[in-house]
């Protein structure tokens, strides 16, 4: 991370979403840990040839690329230019056609009711104004279209990780992003615009790391929120050390011990709804 990035990340410790997610190497997180979410949403939303898809807060394209591979016509939107550029490169390397658009999930630059399927994988949940973001997802989805989301649950490993960070630097104001993974909360956000909404909790199993220390090292080097919080504590080595100790303790406590190393279960909520015709 450059000194300029570090300086921008100070203040609240999280700074703006655009800056935080540009820190580190989110694509490493997306490819190494989160890639299964692409096929999961494509299958759950029955995305295939002839389906016009918008993937919101697309990151570097896990869902968008999976949808394009399935034959859909795909638009991927994200707030962070650096992630869009990486997504474009990933699509080009795979010979996939995806249109990339820089866009805020709270103000999508698309007409009403133009997409057959609107998706987001642990993305739109980080929009500060949850009500507005939900309204935008519904607005751009055509009547009878499908809305598919993957979100971390409030009880998940990921939620607890954010709790560790928040104990050292206060998070941004507003409702916690992981509320999008609560069944009652997401129904409150979306049910007025949907005829049906089915939800099911699953676990993403992460067993790529030999030890908890390896996992902490990976997140410290590549995950924007961790980098932002450590940057906010720069110049206070005792507080950085305390954060690092807490991260390692958390990783050790939640390691379930796989056959070949550390193993973690990251609970998420899969939510799939059908847009109402009214």
Per-residue model confidence as pLDDT tens digits over 77-120: 999 999 999 999 999 999 999 999 999 999 999 999 999 999 99
Length of the chain: 278
Residue 254 included in any domain: no
Neighbours of 255 (CB within 10 A): 16
Q: Which pLDDT tens digit goes with each residue over 209-243? A: 999 999 999 999 999 999 999 999 988 999 999 99
CA dist 237 → 29, 168, 233, 241, 243 (Å): 26, 13, 8, 6, 10
Instruction: Tell me if 79 sits within 8 A of 108, measured CB to CB.
Output: no
Do 37 and 63 contact (CB within 8 A), yes or no?
yes
CATH number of the domain enclosing 93: 3.40.50.150
Residue 28 falls within a domain, yes or no?
yes
Residue 8 pLDDT: 37
Would residue 40 count as lying in a domain? yes
Query: Looking at the whole model, is its pTM more than 0.85?
Result: yes
Determine, yes or no, domain membership for 164: no
pLDDT digit string, tens, across residues 135-192:
999 999 999 999 999 999 999 999 999 999 999 998 877 899 999 999 999 999 998 9
Q: Is residue 103 part of a domain?
A: yes
Number of domains, the chain: 1
In a domain, 250, yes or no: no
Model confidence at 15, in pLDDT bands (50, 70, 90)?
very low
Per-residue pLDDT at 191: 86
Is 111 within a domain?
Answer: yes
Could you say which DSSP state residue 261 is in? B
pLDDT, the chain, mean: 92
- Per-residue model confidence (pLDDT) at position 118: 98
In the structure encoding, which two tokens stand for residue 164, read together? 């560790």
Q: Are 95 and 112 in contact (CB under 8 A)?
A: no
Q: What is the residue range of 46's domain? A: 3-154+174-205+267-275
Residue 7: predicted pLDDT: 35
Query: Is 79 part of any domain?
Result: yes
């Amino acid at each position: 991370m450059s000194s300029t990035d570090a300086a921008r990340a100070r203040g609240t410790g999280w700074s703006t979403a655009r800056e935080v997610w540009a820190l580190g190497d989110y694509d490493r997180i997306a490819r190494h840990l989160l890639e299964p979410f692409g096929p999961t949403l494509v299958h759950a939303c029955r995305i295939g040839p002839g389906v016009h898809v918008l993937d919101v807060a697309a990151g570097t394209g896990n869902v968008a690329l999976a949808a394009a591979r399935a034959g859909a016509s795909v638009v991927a939107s994200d707030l962070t230019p650096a992630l869009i550029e990486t997504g474009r490169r990933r699509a080009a390397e795979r010979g996939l056609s995806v249109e990339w658009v820089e866009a805020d999930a709270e103000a999508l630059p698309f007409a009403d009711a133009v997409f057959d399927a609107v998706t987001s994988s642990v993305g739109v949940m980080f929009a500060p104004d949850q009500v507005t973001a939900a309204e935008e997802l519904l607005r751009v989805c055509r009547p009878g279209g499908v809305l598919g989301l993957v979100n971390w649950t409030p009880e998940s490993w990921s939620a607890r990780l954010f709790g560790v960070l928040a104990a050292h630097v206060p998070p941004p104001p507003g409702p916690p992003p992981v509320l999008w993974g609560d069944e009652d909360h997401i129904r409150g956000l979306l049910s007025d615009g949907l005829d049906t909404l089915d939800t099911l909790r699953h676990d993403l199993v992460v067993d790529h790391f030999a030890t908890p220390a390896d996992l902490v090292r990976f997140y410290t080097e590549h995950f924007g929120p961790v980098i932002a919080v450590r940057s906010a504590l720069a110049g206070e080595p005792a507080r950085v050390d305390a954060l690092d100790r807490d991260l390692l303790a958390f990783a050790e406590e939640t390691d379930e011990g796989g056959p070949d190393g550390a193993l973690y279960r990251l609970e998420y909520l899969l939510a799939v709804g059908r847009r109402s015709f009214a």
